[in-house]
Structure 1
């Protein structure tokens, strides 16, 4: 039942808590669903790893390289994609992204060998580029500092849901092996790729570009949201946040380094966890799929519960550092223990995956505005996602040379400890301005 408001009520904005709840209800389900589909199509090759080797002769090293190649073109295309979205609007651009990646993901069903595998992974990276930083930019149009980490955490649930359902769903689709002469992995790529094309129409019809374009907000409410966010942007970025050169400041480069280390971990687990679990014993593809989903249940719990506590700059930094250390501890356990404790280690690490990621993007968003914010978020995501190339590629080489993928987990645990030490130095833009204001006030008091 739709509740209508009288003309008198439309002139008075709803209270902030009610308005925030409305924004979450109207926006987040669409964005989460889009991210679920993107991750299904980006990572479903993990379940096909063994079959690609058997049917096409794609080795572990070639698989790791192909898994990582996606991130090279993805990274190169992020900044231009976000700048285009800033100009043409989120509704059109996100729908365009979904159509192209859905078609190319479905085309993975026609891979013939290593070369076509590499080419399609490169094309998929170009097609999907811009979705994540585009949504990070889009959230700055709707949510203030206190709510943005929570909104980002909810958005990242898409990764969790994709990996929770992706294992069992992909395994079930691969049971279609032999139907109409196709391999199971071919059916999986085709039937998981096409839904993105159809969902693009829903995004086009339902996702408003900005508060002023939302039919479910009154003009007064839209104006209130946009005025408040503009004020926050001015406070955080100061007078220099419009320049793209601000993307090269020490603080943003530090955020990029932390994000790079984080992404190494995420994509190593995504692309190699099914293979690691497959060596626990005599397990069917369906059993591997269900066990693979367990760490992502932990990741979903973390994304739902913890980002809301990052409501101040100090809390955000403490959660970020402790999250990185928790991820390192989980991988250290997974690299040393037997099957049960190893899986628990992966769950412990995954608990903090999207808590950490939801906080990292607060730092560049607090220091940039305008076109620099659009390009800057794309730049941060581009550089960070090179970890998605580095991690799987290194893991593939380690597995090829040692015969055991878990040996690479020790290296990644050390990388995460270094990232935690670096994160201690991160500061949000309004912290900088508050510190300057405090120093100025002290100087004025002393001169008086």
Structure 2
């Protein structure tokens, strides 16, 4: 029962910083694990790319389109998904999301050709829609603006860990080729779908919807957190601003533009890095997977160290702009044909992937509250994620026409410089 300690004594009141640390410890590990699983299931086709081409005749262009179609349906269904989560609660809705995407991810093992590949990728996008913006919304129930970038950055460690884990794991699963008459890529999809169902059961039992539902907070502490968040949102969000202007005003469009360019870059790397590494020589699937993990280790380090502590709005914007320029410089280095130099470039760029993403999502949260915040976060993510459709699609076409990823990486460099220019004009309402 909230408010009662073991032995019958009342829990002494804890200060806000202690409560913030407690909430981070209690919530983030479970959310990070969920995001690890989701990212593994949406991106494992990167390791299966060459096998799908060989076994099913899926071309580079068809692969790029299929990789991107996930984001198209994901983006189209995010806003309604986040609205439902705001009404029914995170525990129920995230559980539903994980069960449905786990089933569909496993069905990728029965792909027969481009058409079924496209259909299942689109269904996976619908199934998973709402997880990321839903968690971004969920964090606003628990953390004030001064701590939100850190909480978001820790959550985004799930992507880093997913790519660190999925490379070697996927490479090992691909080497199960022939076991029980199945191809290695079929084992990859089947076995990597199981954790989604397991984690869904844990979320159903362990994730509190709001502070008032957390058994590890006293009633007074939970009420204090909710009052503080509510007061901060009322002070930050201008009540006279309509939803249309909040979503399509100049600052919102700048945020969307920055995020769109960022997502083009990040998902181009996600879906094409294993193939680029595979073109460097005769490497085993396990070796390719292990090398693929290195940039994501760099992204983990960046997210951990660059998002520590509080920042003023001006400092946050400077870090955002600098992060985008570092990403651009890394992409330019990665376009070199010398493998060691290219891998270094990918590591440089990846070190800022989630520093940038965590800071981007502090902007809509500084202007909106309540149901408008649910819609605003999902709308920003939906528009930005169209970059996840655009990037792999364009990259696949460039690779098919030129036989090289160099042109695509140079295009990513230019886009990231443009994004840095847009980010320099962002003006948050608060931090």
TM-score category, normalised to shorter length: over 0.9
Displacement of 1:241: 5.6
Instruction: Tell me the SS of whatever aligns to 1:208.
Output: coil
Q: 1:409 to 1:369 in 2, by over 3 A?
A: same
Instruction: Tell me the SS of whatever aligns to 1:308.
Output: coil
The correspondence of residues 146-225 of structure 1 with structure 2, limited to 5 A, is 146-225=146-225
Displacement of 1:328: 0.1
Q: How far, CA to CA, are the matches of 1:329 and 1:178 in structure 2? A: 43
Write out per-residue CA displacement over residues 154-194 of structure 1, whole angstroms, 9 at most, x where no aligned residue.
Answer: 00000001000101001111111111111000000000012
Displacement of 1:24: 0.8
Match of 2:19 in 1: 19
Q: How far, CA to CA, are the matches of 2:83 and 2:429 in structure 1? A: 22
Write out per-residue CA displacement over residues 356-415 of structure 1, whole angstroms, 9 at most, x where no aligned residue.
Answer: 000000000000011110011000000000000000000000000000012210011000
Q: How far, CA to CA, are the matches of 1:350 and 1:230 in structure 2? A: 35
Match of 1:438 in 2: none
The correspondence of residues 42-441 of structure 1 with structure 2, limited to 5 A, is 42-240=42-240, 243=243, 245-309=245-309, 311-430=311-430
Larger displacement relative to structure 2 (327-336 or 337-346):
337-346
Instruction: Tell me the SS of whatever aligns to 1:429.
Output: coil
Would the aligned equivalents of 1:242 and 1:372 in 2 still touch at CA under 8 Å? Answer: no
Larger displacement relative to structure 2 (382-391 or 248-257):
248-257
Would the aligned equivalents of 1:264 and 1:390 in 2 still touch at CA under 8 Å? Answer: yes
Q: 1:9 to 1:240 in 2, by over 3 A?
A: farther
Which ranges of 4 or more aligned residues in structure 1 deviate by more than 4 Å? Answer: 5-8
Q: How far, CA to CA, are the matches of 2:18 and 2:32 in structure 1? A: 21
- Gaps in structure 2 of 5+ consecutive residues: none
Displacement of 1:86: 0.3
Write out per-residue CA displacement over residues 181-240 of structure 1, whole angstroms, 9 at most, x where no aligned residue.
Answer: 110000000000121012101001000000011111001100110011011101110213
Q: 1:7 to 1:230 in 2, by over 3 A?
A: farther
Q: 1:197 to 1:242 in 2, by over 3 A?
A: farther
Q: How far, CA to CA, are the matches of 1:222 and 1:241 in structure 2? A: 30
- Gaps in structure 1 of 5+ consecutive residues: 432-448
Instruction: Tell me the SS of whatever aligns to 1:58.
Output: coil
Would the aligned equivalents of 2:109 and 2:189 in 1 still touch at CA under 8 Å? Answer: yes
Q: How far, CA to CA, are the matches of 2:282 and 2:72 in structure 1? A: 36
Would the aligned equivalents of 1:147 and 1:311 in 2 still touch at CA under 8 Å? Answer: no
Would the aligned equivalents of 1:70 and 1:124 in 2 still touch at CA under 8 Å? Answer: yes
Instruction: Tell me the SS of whatever aligns to 1:190.
Output: helix
Would the aligned equivalents of 2:325 and 2:420 in 1 still touch at CA under 8 Å? Answer: yes
Q: How far, CA to CA, are the matches of 2:175 and 2:282 in structure 1? A: 17
Instruction: Tell me the SS of whatever aligns to 1:289.
Output: helix
Q: How far, CA to CA, are the matches of 1:244 and 1:123 in structure 2? A: 29
Instruction: Tell me the SS of whatever aligns to 1:122.
Output: helix
Would the aligned equivalents of 2:145 and 2:430 in 1 still touch at CA under 8 Å? Answer: no
Would the aligned equivalents of 1:241 and 1:367 in 2 still touch at CA under 8 Å? Answer: no
Instruction: Tell me the SS of whatever aligns to 1:38.
Output: helix
Displacement of 1:114: 0.3
Number of residue pairs matched by the alignment? 428
Displacement of 1:317: 0.2
Displacement of 1:16: 1.7
Displacement of 1:244: 5.1
Would the aligned equivalents of 2:335 and 2:405 in 1 still touch at CA under 8 Å? Answer: no
Instruction: Tell me the SS of whatever aligns to 2:427.
Output: coil
Of structures 1 and 2, the larger Rg is shown by 1
Would the aligned equivalents of 2:274 and 2:289 in 1 still touch at CA under 8 Å? Answer: yes
Would the aligned equivalents of 1:244 and 1:376 in 2 still touch at CA under 8 Å? Answer: no
Larger displacement relative to structure 2 (230-239 or 204-213):
230-239
Q: How far, CA to CA, are the matches of 1:110 and 1:57 in structure 2? A: 15
Q: How far, CA to CA, are the matches of 1:241 and 1:233 in structure 2? A: 14
Larger displacement relative to structure 2 (375-384 or 238-247):
238-247
Q: How far, CA to CA, are the matches of 1:337 and 1:348 in structure 2? A: 16
Instruction: Tell me the SS of whatever aligns to 2:335.
Output: helix
Would the aligned equivalents of 1:241 and 1:372 in 2 still touch at CA under 8 Å? Answer: no
Using the size of structure 1 for normalisation, the TM-score is 0.94
Would the aligned equivalents of 1:309 and 1:316 in 2 still touch at CA under 8 Å? Answer: no
